[in-house]
A and B are shown apart, each in its own frame.
Chain A
Amino acid sequence: MATLNPRHEEGLFYLLAAIGGLVSALGVGAALYMEHSGHVVTGMNNQIVWGLPHVVAIFLIVAASGVLNVASMGSVFGRKLYKPRAPLSGLLALAMISGGLAVIMLDLGRADRIMVAATHFNPTSVFGWNVILYPVFYGVVAVYLWTMMERRMYPWMKVAGFATFIWRIILTTGTGSIFAFLVARQAYGTALLAPMFIIMSFCWGLAVFLVVQSTMYAWNGLTLPPLVLQRMKNLLATFVAAVLYFTIVLHLVNAYFARNIAFEHFILFDSEFAGAFWLGQILIGTLLPLALLLNPATAAKSLWVNVAALLVLVGAYYQLYVFIIGGQAFPLDIFPGYDVKSSFMDGAVDHYSASLPEIILALGGLGIAFTMTTIGVRILHFLPQDDLAELEAAASATD
């Protein structure tokens, strides 16, 4: 693979950083516009209260936790193949959670009161827990990165890695619990969502890692060792299948409950979300990636593994869109057994379409994550340095 001319390479870096910075700045600008005008300029309303910004923000937060799985595989479970990848996984985690949190905070009705959220704490609120979970996540990941990148801190790496592993499990439990603790809406309110979000985080985080890793290898004119590719694509296929398993169980149980049959019929067959579910989440995000990852003809090629990872990420978007927007679009069943109507969309299916400021704000979150990653990998050594002989020895020992 050809290496880029150093001058061209530097120019390309600045171009990418500038694009990322511009998208981030536009996102902040969109948030200021929403702050000034009110949420009237968004597609959100009093029924669909969380929209596209929340879909993207929750994706980033969930994937941020999951991408650390790569580090945990090395530090906590002692897998040699993953150890050189731990610093990059830490950087991606910090970058993505920063983008996600920025979008969540900038979308607030009163984003100027973010200090109120920091100084007023309600212990019964899952959001309140998250206000603690996220800053601590930054702290433990930063310390973990320090132990990995500073030779004197090496003895503490295992402890920091373990603490990070525990914390990200708690963090994603908290994210899933945002929805698990909602008694009001048919789409949510099940304890299954906490473990389901954890497995979703493993899947999406690994997909992000694979894409970023491949890009970095290509940038440096390197090829990912086939052994590494094979291990990671197998792991991704396992996680994709696990998310599918949770999805099937969730819908099967819901479909059995008489009170939820109407909602299941709505979300799976009779709404604008049914297409997003079957085509977006199941076909594009699950079955196609599984086929690419399990078919020996495609699974051995880096290109197809990366295509599969990208498809998983597209599927993640559809999955969260159906889950978050579709779950709110279906009317609350306030009077079971009655047909209801009112001036406030009671009994009516709502429709949501994101407005331009919301789209720009959501892209801004991706821009922040992209910019932080681009600058991070440029100024520090995050490119995995594989000791191939050691890897092969370890592989033959475990196979």
Chain B
Amino acid sequence: MNAPDRNPRRAFIAAAGAGVAGLGFTAIAPGLHLMAVASEANAAARPAGTAASPAVRWGLLIDATKCAPGCTKCIDACHTENGVNEKLPDARQASQWIRKIELVDRRNGKKTELPMMCQHCAKPPCVDVCPTGASMKRADGIVLVDRHTCIGCRYCMMACPYKARSLVHVPLTEQNPEVPRGQGCVESCTLCVHRVDKGQIPACVESCPEGAMIFGDLNDPSSAIAKRIASVPTTQVRSDLRLNQAVRYQGI
């Protein structure tokens, strides 16, 4: 009478339950993996059709002490990711979304290298001066150019204290569909907004072999970037201008 319950229906339910649990584990695993990647940025992908959140402020922390002399991997990754590949006879007319700057301290000769790009200011002069509003700041702090309304007046290039912007001087071909660019329009680092919206990190950050760059939400105290900024001295370039940039540097 006390024989084990061999009700086949119960056994099926038990087996099905184990299967669902197993399936669930494997189904969640990619999700966990995704979360692990996103945890670097401390946010998940932004679903299509939803607005960027003003609660988030995307930013970069660049450790100049780790930036290897002569290394251009971040530049190569950026320009590959964004399809910045045109060759011009005069290099001064070519677009540079990110560049390496070599610094020598005049007082003691100390040498430093660092990548420089759009600093994604909280109060961006480029946005203030743009006559059409093409130069804009997204709710999450990313400064962008609307390629449909940019008229190519270059006033933003005059206004930018970081020389972060380029005018496209030639007709373009073979563009990355996710990164529209256009002759006669001004452009700059988008913080790889097309990747960030998918829950990924910018190409330059991903490519840095030294781990010198951290990307994340400056507004989230638990993010890696916010924790680092809270624990080590960091600098905003030309902080005297009070533009409150989202890109910060360590070691300069």
User: Which 3 interchain pairs have the tightest Cβ spacing?
Assistant: A109-B152, A109-B184, A127-B131
Q: A49-B158, A127-B131, A332-B161 given as contacts; is B107 within 8 A of A110 (CB)?
A: no
24 A-B pairs with CB atoms under 8 Å apart are A37-B171, A38-B169, A40-B90, A49-B157, A109-B152, A109-B154, A110-B152, A117-B151, A122-B132, A125-B129, A130-B131, A131-B131, A178-B155, A181-B129, A182-B159, A183-B125, A184-B161, A185-B158, A334-B163, A335-B252, A337-B106, A343-B96, A346-B99, A346-B116
- Report the minimal beta-carbon distance from B137 to chain A, rounded to whole angstroms: 12
- Report the minimal beta-carbon distance from A252 to chain B, rounded to whole angstroms: 23
A46 within 8 A of B: yes
Whether B163 contacts A125 by the Cβ 8 Å rule is no
Q: List the B side residues contacting A120 at CB < 8 Å.
A: 131-134, 149
Q: Which of B96, B99, B167 has the most CB of A within 10 A?
A: B167
Interface Cβ pair total, 8 Å cutoff: 174
Q: List the B side residues contacting A344 at CB < 8 Å.
A: 96, 99, 163
- Name which residue of chain B comes closest to A54, CB basis: B154
Q: List the B side residues contacting A340 at CB < 8 Å.
A: 101-104
Q: List the A side residues contacting B149 at CB < 8 Å.
A: 113, 116, 120
B32 within 8 A of A: no
Q: How far is the CA of A46 from the CA of B166 in the complex (A)?
A: 6
B41 within 8 A of A: no
> How many residues does chain A have at the interface if contact means C-beta atoms less than 8 Å apart?
50
Q: Which of A174-190 contact B (CB under 8 A)?
A: 178, 181-185
A121 within 8 A of B: yes
Q: How far is the CA of A35 from the CA of B183 in the complex (A)?
A: 9
- Name which residue of chain B comes closest to A130, CB basis: B131
Q: How far is the CA of A117 from the CA of B149 in the complex (A)?
A: 8
> C-beta contact mask, A327-347 vs B, less than 8 Å → 1, else 0?
010001011011111111110
Whether B155 contacts A40 by the Cβ 8 Å rule is no
Q: List the A side residues contacting B150 at CB < 8 Å.
A: 109-110, 113
In addition to A111-B151, A183-B241, A337-B105, 15 A-B residue pairs with Cβ atoms within 8 Å of each other are A35-B184, A37-B171, A38-B183, A39-B167, A40-B89, A109-B184, A110-B152, A116-B132, A117-B131, A125-B128, A181-B159, A332-B162, A334-B238, A338-B103, A342-B99
Q: Which of B40-90 contact A (CB under 8 A)?
A: 88-90
A126 within 8 A of B: yes
Q: Which of B89, B99, B159 has the most CB of A within 10 A?
A: B159
Whether A339 contacts B154 by the Cβ 8 Å rule is no
B21 within 8 A of A: no
- Report the minimal beta-carbon distance from B75 to chain A, rounded to whole angstroms: 9
- Report the minimal beta-carbon distance from A128 to chain B, rounded to whole angstroms: 4
Q: List the B side residues contacting A35 at CB < 8 Å.
A: 184
- Report the minimal beta-carbon distance from B49 to chain A, rounded to whole angstroms: 24
A124 within 8 A of B: yes
Q: A39-B167, A116-B149 given as contacts; is B154 within 8 A of A50 (CB)?
A: yes
- Report the minimal beta-carbon distance from B242 to chain A, rounded to whole angstroms: 10
Q: List the A side residues contacting B3 at CB < 8 Å.
A: none
Whether A108 contacts B88 by the Cβ 8 Å rule is no
Whether B92 contacts A345 by the Cβ 8 Å rule is yes
